[in-house]
Structure 1
Amino acid sequence: MSLRFYQVAVDARDPAALARFWAEALGYRVLLENEEEVVIGVDETAYPGLVFVPVPEAKSGKNRLHLDLAPDDQDAEVARLLDLGATVVDVGQSADVPWQVLADPEGNEFCVLSPKSSLTDSWTASAGYVTPPRVT
C-alpha cells in the first residue's frame, strides 16, 4: 500500500497559538510555521502530525472529528490541560462515562480517556469499540 496517514488539519483563528497549545499538550514540537500553516509533531519523520491553518470564522457546532488522548494518569493530565487553557465541555455524555471531554482554547472538543492500564477488553467491548489487531 502506498498510502499513509500524514496529518490532521485543524482550522484555527490563531494557528500559532492553537499549535502551541497542542504542542505543549502532546509533547510535540513546532516543525514549521509560516502565514499559511503551523505544523507540529514529534519530529520531521514521525507521522501523523497536526497542521493548523488560518480561517476567518470561529468554530461553530460540535466537532465531527475529535482526538482521543490516552493518559497514564487521567486526573493529572486533565488538570495539566486545564492549566494550559483547555475547558471542560458537555457534548451530551452521561455522567458515568470513563472519559472526560475537554475543549482546546478555540473550542475544539477532545477526550481524555481512562488511564491506559485500565482500558480493558471488557470496557472497550461494552462501549462498542473493537481493538484492532496488532501489526507486526
Structure 2
Amino acid sequence: MSSAWESLTVDARDPSRLARWWAEALGYQVVTEKPDEVEIRQAPDRLPGIVFVAVTGSKEGKNRLHVDLRPDDQEAEVERLVDMGARHVDVGQGDVGWTVLADPEGNEFCVLRQRGG
C-alpha cells in the first residue's frame, strides 16, 4: 500500500493574502477559496497543491519543513521575491550556496543555485 501526495498545508494568519503571494511566486493559481482555507496549484487538476489554513497567533521558531526553489537565475529570483515582500533571514545556515528567505508571514524557504552552477 502507498499514498499519493495530495497537498502541503501552511498555517497562516491571512490565508488569502499568503496564498496569493505564493501563487505569484510560483506561477500557481488559486483553485479553491473559503474564508479560512485557500488552495493553490499549478493547474486545477494537478497535484500536489498548497493549502493555506487560518490560525491565530504568530509563527514561532524555525520551520521544521520548508520549500526549496531552484530558479534559472538565483540572484534575479531572490531580488524578485524580496521585491514581492520576502525578506532575508538567518537560520544558522552560514556561508552556503543558497539564499534563505521568509515569506510575508515568516515561513522560511530556500532559493537554490541553478543546476550545474
Per the shorter chain, which TM-score range?
Answer: over 0.9
Query: 2:81 corresponds to which letter in structure 1?
Result: L
Shift of 1:3: 1.8
The Cα shift of 1:57 comes to 1.1
Give the Cα–Cα distance (whole angstroms) in 2 for the partners of residues 94 and 106 of structure 1: 23
Q: Hey, what does 1:99 align to over in structure 2? A: 98
**Equivalent residue number for residue 130 of structure 1:** none
Structure (1/2) with the larger strand percentage:
2
* Partner of residue 58, structure 1: 58
Once the two structures are superposed, residues 24-75 of structure 1 have per-residue CA deviations (whole angstroms, 9 ceiling, x without a partner) of 0000001111113100011121111100000011100000100000110000
**Aligned match of 1:128:** none
Q: TM-score, normalised by structure 1?
A: 0.83
Query: Structure 2: how far apart are the matches of 1:69 and 1:90?
Result: 17
Q: Which amino acid aligns with 1:83?
A: D
Give TM-score scaled by structure 2 length: 0.96
C-alpha displacement of 1:117: 3.7
Identity %: 60
SS in 1 for 2:30: strand
Deviating 4+ runs (over 6 angstroms): none
- Matched pairs, number: 117
Mapped partners of 1:47, 1:98: distance in 2: 29
Structure-to-structure mapping, 1:21-100, within 5 angstroms? 21-95=21-95, 97-100=96-99
Q: In structure 1, list runs of 5 or more residues that go unmatched.
A: 119-136
Q: CA deviation at 1:2?
A: 5.0
| In 2: Cα distance, 1:93 partner to 1:37 partner | 32
RMSD: 1.0
Give the structure with higher Rg (CA): 1
